[in-house]
A and B are shown apart, each in its own frame.
Chain A
Amino acid sequence: MLVRELYSGAYELDSGDRKMLATRNMMPGMSVYGERLIIEEDIEYRLWDPGRSKLGSMLLKKFDIPIEQDSTVLYLGAASGTTVSHVSDMLMDGLVYALEFSPRTMRDLVQLCEIRPNIIPIFADANKPHSYAHIVEKADVIFQDIAQPNQAEIAAINSKYFLGEEGYLMLSIKSRSIDTIANPRKVFREELAKLQNDFSIEFEVLDRKELAPFHEDHLGVLAKRFMG
């Protein structure tokens, strides 16, 4: 099997007939959510299903992912930690703050945090960044996967609180949670305009692509703080 590093910490395994996305397993022998483990040249990889992860599909959509080995990542909407576990793999030397507001999924997430040394769980509402400003440091990357009608606003206020000067914002916009019946394209346009103009922080959108066929009616956005 051929192994190629796509980004820092994310790999593409090529078995000849099929290409698979994977990260190098930080905790060898342990599968987090039932994903397959593959050992190649004494290195264990965890397969990463882009259909279950917005970040995974953004990788395959050739976004220029800004996550480095030593990044500090603030992950909003961590859910059970499926994607967070892969982020944790990518951060050999970094830290991810995983924020989630549902007690049910937090139950799973906190168990993941106990196994992996570089995830810090936060049980809080992403609408209220001042309720966790006493824990979270300046982040190099904010990744947001929250299906709420005010996604743009949440991204903006969290960036204001926690995004470093050179930091990046990665956002997955789900049109169905903003307007169930409107045309997704129109929703995306409006949300991007909101993100760029409506809040007291300005962004420069570096890249935007729809995440189909992995996720229907989702838009991936990569943005940077606008330095005038």
Chain B
Amino acid sequence: MLQKQITPAQIYGGSDIKEKEFNTWFGTLLLDDEGRIDDCILFDNDPEMLAAVVVKLQKEMLPVPLRRPDIREAAIECGFVKLDEEYDILLRDVCIRAVKNQISRADADDSRIIQAVEALDDIDRNVNELGERLFEWYGRYFPELDMTGEELARFVSTYGSRTNVPSDHHLFEKASRSMGPELSFTDEEIIRAFANNICSLYDTRRYIENYINNSMGSVAPNLCNVAGASLGARLMSMAGSLEKLASFPSSTVQVIGANRALFKHLRTKAPSPKHGIIFNHPFIKNAPWWQRGKIARTLASRISLASRTDFYSGEPDTSIILCLEKKLEIIRKANPVPPKREPQKKSPVRGKSRKGKQGSRGKMKGGKN
């Protein structure tokens, strides 16, 4: 009955798997009509190999016979293990190995980009705060200096005290006549170190930005083409992954990032948001207000197409962007002048559009978790 020394490839190589076969992590059970074990082919008691079997079976998702024995009992009956404890220990070992295997494989390209985009946002948030601090701090000693942000950080990092500004510098005049007090050596060192850190954050930011621009082209070429590298990356980050973005309806893509407005619209009679984060696309940003909603709809549908092409085929497809441009032209021609603004009133149309939206509700949820 036992047939040891057999590899999974030998057993699963063939494609004719019958209904009455029950593939388990420790071997294949051949069942009779009643679901009892007729025969069994067992694997070697090698955790590494069994883990590979577990991963493989999980991927294949073979049908499971309806009438089947309990697999723990089967393992003992077939003599794979002798005791319950032995079964527990081996299965645990195998499953932990399998899961570790699956996790290391699950690290997809899009998740690297998503981490980078989120790091970018973190840097922006922090660098603003630090920049404001530097502005207040250094402003005590040189209030006339009309600089903020990176410019200020670079200035402080280069010169430190305003007395170090060279005579050929265009700010020399201002610096030597400043009403600010002298900067002591210790204070100067500290402020300078602080400014250096800000400068290096700006450098890192640029570095990450380049990284995103470069890798978006290979991870999601069409999305990059239609939405631009940073917007595309941001959409992936807000959706959770390229796969999720590809599975969203384009009406959801249109309002990603406008969660609050969307839920306000769904719960109350507030107007529906026209665009979420895709507003940052130059096509919408640079369009006159009366075309924005229409362009947002078109753009969202093309972004959906692009992300689906990227996720499922990965081949660049220039027809998407060409088609988008054609459509934009049509929209621009059809709406050359702003419509007359109707007087503000609570129209029943809003109630209707609310109902029509119900299909997409709840889709925004779980995007970031």
What is A's interface to B at a CB cutoff of 8 Å?
A: 95, 103, 106-107, 110, 113-114, 117-124, 128, 130-138, 147, 149, 161, 176-181
B269 at the interface (CB under 8 A from A): no
Report B-chain residues with C-beta under 8 Å of the C-beta of A176.
Answer: 365
Q: Do residues B62 and A121 form an inter-chain contact, with CB atoms below 8 A?
A: no
Q: Do residues B361 and A181 form an inter-chain contact, with CB atoms below 8 A?
A: yes
Q: Do residues B361 and A110 form an inter-chain contact, with CB atoms below 8 A?
A: no
CA distance A110 to B103 in the complex (A): 10
Option from B96, B362, B365 in Cβ contact (under 8 Å) with A113: B96
Report B-chain residues with C-beta under 8 Å of the C-beta of A136.
Answer: 71
Option from B25, B71, B96, B266 in Cβ contact (under 8 Å) with A110: B96
CA distance A224 to B23 in the complex (A): 29
CA distance A128 to B58 in the complex (A): 10
B366 at the interface (CB under 8 A from A): yes
When C-beta atoms are compared, the residue in chain A nearest to B111 turns out to be: A103
CA distance A133 to B57 in the complex (A): 9
Q: Do residues A137 and B54 form an inter-chain contact, with CB atoms below 8 A?
A: no
> How many pairs of A and B residues are in contact by the CB < 8 Å rule?
86
Q: Do residues A131 and B266 form an inter-chain contact, with CB atoms below 8 A?
A: no
When C-beta atoms are compared, the residue in chain B nearest to A137 turns out to be: B72
Report B-chain residues with C-beta under 8 Å of the C-beta of A121.
Answer: 95-96, 99
Q: Mark B237-250, 1 if CB is under 8 A from A, else 0.
A: 00000000000000
When C-beta atoms are compared, the residue in chain B nearest to A97 turns out to be: B95
When C-beta atoms are compared, the residue in chain A nearest to B61 turns out to be: A131
B100 at the interface (CB under 8 A from A): yes
Known: A134-B58, A179-B362, A181-B267. 7 other contacts (CB 8 A): A103-B102, A121-B99, A123-B102, A134-B57, A135-B71, A138-B70, A177-B365
Q: Do residues A134 and B103 form an inter-chain contact, with CB atoms below 8 A?
A: no
Q: Give the 8 A-B CB pairs with smallest separation, nearest first.
A: A103-B106, A137-B72, A133-B64, A123-B102, A121-B99, A131-B61, A134-B24, A134-B57
Report A-chain residues with C-beta under 8 Å of the C-beta of B91.
Answer: 120, 135
30 A-B residue pairs with Cβ-Cβ distance under 8 Å, sorted by A, are A95-B88, A103-B103, A103-B106, A103-B107, A106-B99, A110-B96, A110-B103, A113-B92, A113-B96, A114-B96, A119-B92, A120-B91, A121-B95, A121-B99, A123-B58, A123-B102, A130-B62, A130-B64, A133-B64, A134-B24, A134-B54, A134-B57, A135-B54, A135-B91, A135-B95, A137-B72, A177-B362, A180-B365, A181-B266, A181-B361
When C-beta atoms are compared, the residue in chain B nearest to A138 turns out to be: B70
Q: Do residues A122 and B95 form an inter-chain contact, with CB atoms below 8 A?
A: yes
B283 at the interface (CB under 8 A from A): no
Report A-chain residues with C-beta under 8 Å of the C-beta of B59.
Answer: 131
The smallest C-beta distance from A150 to any residue of chain B, in angstroms, reads 12
Option from B58, B70, B365 in Cβ contact (under 8 Å) with A131: B58
Report A-chain residues with C-beta under 8 Å of the C-beta of B202.
Answer: none
Interface centre among A130, A132, A134, A138 (most CB of B within 10 A): A134
Report A-chain residues with C-beta under 8 Å of the C-beta of B263.
Answer: 180
Option from A120, A123, A135 in Cβ contact (under 8 Å) with B103: A123
Report A-chain residues with C-beta under 8 Å of the C-beta of B57.
Answer: 131, 134
When C-beta atoms are compared, the residue in chain B nearest to A128 turns out to be: B61
Report B-chain residues with C-beta under 8 Å of the C-beta of A106.
Answer: 99, 102-103
Query: Is the interface on chain B under 10, 10 to 19, 20 to 34, or 35 or more residues?
Result: 20 to 34
B98 at the interface (CB under 8 A from A): yes
The smallest C-beta distance from B73 to any residue of chain A, in angstroms, reads 8
CA distance A113 to B88 in the complex (A): 13
CA distance A106 to B91 in the complex (A): 18
Q: Do residues B361 and A180 form an inter-chain contact, with CB atoms below 8 A?
A: yes
Q: Mark B64-79, 1 if CB is under 8 A from A, else 0.
A: 1000001110000000
Q: Mark B293-332, 1 if CB is under 8 A from A, else 0.
A: 0000000000000000000000000000000000000000
When C-beta atoms are compared, the residue in chain A nearest to B24 turns out to be: A134
Q: Do residues A123 and B98 form an inter-chain contact, with CB atoms below 8 A?
A: yes
The smallest C-beta distance from A178 to any residue of chain B, in angstroms, reads 8
B63 at the interface (CB under 8 A from A): yes
Report A-chain residues with C-beta under 8 Å of the C-beta of B267.
Answer: 181
When C-beta atoms are compared, the residue in chain A nearest to B361 turns out to be: A180
Option from A119, A120, A130 in Cβ contact (under 8 Å) with B61: A130
CA distance A117 to B95 in the complex (A): 12
Q: Do residues B92 and A120 form an inter-chain contact, with CB atoms below 8 A?
A: yes
The smallest C-beta distance from B129 to any residue of chain A, in angstroms, reads 27
Report B-chain residues with C-beta under 8 Å of the C-beta of A120.
Answer: 91-92, 95
Option from B71, B99, B100 in Cβ contact (under 8 Å) with A134: B71
CA distance A177 to B107 in the complex (A): 27
Interface centre among A103, A122, A147 (most CB of B within 10 A): A103
CA distance A204 to B95 in the complex (A): 33
Q: Do residues A110 and B100 form an inter-chain contact, with CB atoms below 8 A?
A: yes
Q: Do residues B88 and A118 form an inter-chain contact, with CB atoms below 8 A?
A: yes
Report B-chain residues with C-beta under 8 Å of the C-beta of A119.
Answer: 92
CA distance A110 to B25 in the complex (A): 19
The smallest C-beta distance from A68 to any residue of chain B, in angstroms, reads 16
Report B-chain residues with C-beta under 8 Å of the C-beta of A134.
Answer: 23-25, 54, 57-58, 64, 71
Report A-chain residues with C-beta under 8 Å of the C-beta of B98.
Answer: 123
Report B-chain residues with C-beta under 8 Å of the C-beta of A107.
Answer: 103
